[in-house]
A and B are shown apart, each in its own frame.
Chain A
Amino acid sequence: MANDQFYHALKVDESLCYGCTHCMNVCPTGAIRIRNGKASIRKNWCVDCGDCMKVCPVNAFYVEQDDFDKIYDYKYRVALVPAVMIGQFPSNISESQIFSVMRELGFTHVFQTEHTVDIINDAMIEAARKQTEKPLISSFCPAVVRLIQVKFPALVDQILLVKPPIDASAIFFRKKLQDEGIPDEEIGIFFVTPCAAKIAAVKSPVGETKSPVNGVINMDFMYNKVYHGIKNRSGSGVRSPGENLPNLGPKHIKWTLTNGEATHMRGRCLAIDEIHNVIDILEKVENDEIPDLDFLELRACDESCAGGVLVVGNRFLTVERLRKRAELFKDIHGIPEDLASYVDFMKTRLPLKPLEPRSMLKLDEDMTVALRKMQQVRKLMCYLPGIDCGACGAPNCLSLAQDIVQKEAQLSSCVFIQRTMEKHKKLHSDHAIRIIDKVWGKDRLDKDCTKLGAKDEGT
């Protein structure tokens, strides 16, 4: 996919962003800069992990979702619901209640994302036998897949080329409806997403030409609608939950939690969650530091999907609830009945195309130029103070140096360099203020008692 077409789901609401440095400092790929007093995300660097959204003090980040009314573009409206959605509700609310309300909200079918886990697991074991370079890395988490593409391009070939449950289940359910005689264009499949990365994966898929999912609805939005629906149900208009219930066993329910995949793969397997932990382990894998490792389950969020940025409930409670539900259905295992006759069909549809690296680390395509730029960066670092304060609008001095070399910033963006320049009469103090205006917005240094923490906050 060409970089200019690269979609990402996290956006900044400029009316809310007041230009602090929280998001810029936590971004694991260094994708955020502050310009004109607002955070701006570099599209090609962002992997949609959602760390910026989690840390923003004023909720200025949002995740673009499809308008709920878009479901009515289709005659058959399928909600694809992952297990973590069920984990948002206390145990006295049943799956049937949740799915009934979803049908009352306008969906004709509710289908669970993890329904196809057994077939996926088999395909993963099969593919692992063929892909020789170990350890193999699961393609489950789209933020991790993108992280590898931009930051660990050498490991791209180690991604296990099997589609994750969201795609597999969408493909299966679409086929099932088609076999019932429903035309393809009348089927709309909408994924209730726990995170931004899965939205990006639907809008600009990696390793497949077109996503089998038609749209995405954020889990926090859906949770509010469903919970409200359950609390205010009247006797009339109550619908049945549909026919696909309950059908998930413990393996399915726990698949998207940490260790969900790793416990069902062969050989020496490791499960790692939270993006910084993931980066640490990928560094080691790249150095060949961990011999004899066969499989890596890597998830960008702490506690995997239970910690997704759009998941409303506390992640530890979500995990606890799901484990309890898994215990309830402990007798359910193996490929669900309705899937059995589709195993061969699914086998042909599960492989992903090989993925392309798209390194964002290189200073230039041309190595001669890259070498020259690196020399310039190292020279600049002699002058920059190494305080990593972020006052220039870049996350640290090294990023500023690289931005300068790439002509995206000036040395005078550094407030400490400004001081030195003023002292040597190379910069007028009015000019220095103009530079600060450019990064932090006009009049940023004026007195403002309404800002966060100030005496008239919020007025």
Chain B
Amino acid sequence: MEFRYEVEGGNFSRAGHASSAVKKILKQLNVDNRIIKRIVVALYEGEVNVVAHAHKGNILVYIDEQKINIKIEDEGPGIPDIDLAMQAGYSTASAAVREMGFGAGMGLPNIKKNTDELKIASDVGKGTTLEMITYLQ
């Protein structure tokens, strides 16, 4: 089953709508609470990343009995050094973004911690694609 959500860059008040929607779906599917929590935390971080850094993005969610596959594609600045971005505490967020309580440099590390498989592909100046897979059983 497929679900699709749009993310608007810069609109922090809407950040979290995709994670809330996916959370509701997983609850209806009777997925284990601990697994739901990991997925939702990872997705929320991913969503906030798009809002904080990109112009816009799309979230594609594919769910079957075994796993949930979430693809977050954005049009934005891209990540020049993925290894550096994966380090806890490293952040390129602007002062304004940090003031809102975002941009602590925990986004990608937190996503990695909360997913079973994570793939990141980035094209500097064009955008970033995150693919996260979590097994449901």
Contacts and interface: CB of A to CB of B under 8 A. Distances in A.
A370 B27 CA distance: 10
Contacts of A289: 16, 44
A287 B24 CA distance: 11
Q: How large is the interface on B (under 10, 10 to 19, 20 to 34, 35 or more residues)?
A: 20 to 34
B30 interface: yes
Interface string B18-54: 0110011101111101101100110010000000000
18 contacts: A153-B33, A154-B33, A154-B34, A154-B37, A283-B20, A286-B23, A286-B37, A287-B19, A288-B37, A288-B41, A364-B30, A367-B30, A367-B31, A367-B136, A370-B28, A371-B63, A374-B28, A374-B29
Given A287-B23, A287-B41, A367-B136, A359 B1 contact: no
Contacts of B29: 362-363, 367, 370-371, 374
A371 B65 contact: yes
A283 B19 CA distance: 10
Nearest to A156: B33
A361 B33 contact: no
Contact of B1 (A287, A364, A371): A371
A201 B36 CA distance: 29
B44 A365 contact: no
Interface in A303-333: none
A368 interface: yes
A429 interface: no
A361 B24 contact: yes
B64 interface: yes
Nearest to B114: A288
Closest 4 pairs (CB-CB, A-B):
A154-B33, A362-B30, A361-B27, A370-B29
A374 B25 contact: yes
Given A363-B29, A367-B31, A374 B24 contact: no
Interface of A: 153-154, 283-284, 286-289, 357, 359, 361-368, 370-371, 374-375, 378
Contacts of A153: 27, 33
Nearest to A155: B33
A46 to B, nearest CB: 18
A359 B27 contact: yes
Interface-central residue, B20, B29, B44, B63, by most chain A CB under 10 Å: B29
Contact of A361 (B28, B34, B44): B28
Given A286-B23, A288-B41, A371-B63, A363 B34 contact: no
Contacts of A364: 30
A359 B33 CA distance: 10
B30 A359 contact: yes
Contact of A288 (B1, B30, B44): B44
A286 B136 CA distance: 18
B30 A370 contact: yes
Contacts of A370: 28-30
A368 B28 contact: no
A366 B30 CA distance: 7
Interface in B66-101: none
A363 B26 CA distance: 10
B24 A368 contact: no
Given A153-B33, A371-B1, A371-B63, A287 B40 contact: yes
A287 B33 contact: no
A63 to B, nearest CB: 30
A60 to B, nearest CB: 31
A285 to B, nearest CB: 11
B49 to A, nearest CB: 14
A367 B65 CA distance: 7
A359 B36 CA distance: 13
B41 A362 contact: no
B27 A287 contact: no
Nearest to A365: B30
Contact of B64 (A287, A288, A366, A371): A371
Given A153-B27, A367-B31, 7 more contacts: A154-B34, A283-B20, A288-B44, A367-B65, A367-B136, A371-B65, A378-B1
Given A287-B23, A375-B1, A368 B30 contact: no
Contacts of B36: 154
A197 to B, nearest CB: 23
A362 B44 CA distance: 22
Contact of A363 (B20, B30, B33, B63): B30
Nearest to A151: B27
Interface-central residue, A364, A367, A371, by most chain B CB under 10 Å: A367
A287 to B, nearest CB: 5
Contacts of A357: 33
Contacts of A359: 27, 30
B105 to A, nearest CB: 13
Contacts of A371: 1, 29, 63-65
